[in-house]
Amino acid sequence: MPLSASRLVPLWGYDDPRGRLTSLEEGREVPFTVRRVYLLHDVPEEALRGGHAHKALHQVVLAAAGSFTLRLDDGIQHESFTLATPRLGLYIGPGLWRTLESFSPGTVALVLASAAYDEGDYIRDYADFQRFVGVPVTSDGPPAAPPVAP
């Protein structure tokens, strides 16, 4: 799917002196039925997660705490998103290669997914991903991440 099959979604929130509440609802911020929820936490700062695409899975990803960078690639274009607030979700449609990196200490990434875990839905090889999205297969793998600012 083209990169336009992803979008940042502002989440509903309620704030008062007792703190902040953030909610996601199916049919409101989440454009699919949620079949699975998982967390990424205790991720070392230097870790690189993701490095795959999904054939059919839809997801919404957000930083429940901390921050990280999520890079999406549709085989032609790529874009990096910094997720740094629980009030913003990133909807990711199928057919997008993703990498997650630069996790700040204490980050908790929350992922809502449209299906149960199924290894058969993963595309873990970049050339297979290029074939899946119908672009020429290159030998140099996914585009390199931009250099980190000093």
Instruction: List residues binding ligand TYD (CB under 6 A).
Output: 36, 38, 40, 49-50, 117
Residue 15 CA to residue 123 CA, distance in Å, equals 40
Smallest gap from Cβ 121 to ligand TYD, in A, equals 10
The tokens 């929350």 sit on which residue?
110
DSSP bridge partners of 58? none
Nearer to ligand TYD, 110 or 134 (CB): 110
Region of 111 please: left (phi>0), alpha (psi -120 to 50) or beta.
beta
Smallest gap from Cβ 48 to ligand TYD, in A, equals 8
Residue 46 CA to residue 86 CA, distance in Å, equals 22
Region of 49 please: left (phi>0), alpha (psi -120 to 50) or beta.
beta
For 95, residues 6+ apart whose C-beta sits below 8 A from its C-beta are 1, 5, 53, 54, 55, 74, 132, 133
Smallest gap from Cβ 24 to ligand TYD, in A, equals 18
Active site includes 52?
A: yes
Nearer to ligand TYD, 10 or 51 (CB): 51
Nearer to ligand TYD, 12 or 117 (CB): 117
Task: Given the residues 41, 52, 54, 78, select the one marked as catalytic.
Answer: 52
Give the residue numbers marked as catalytic.
52
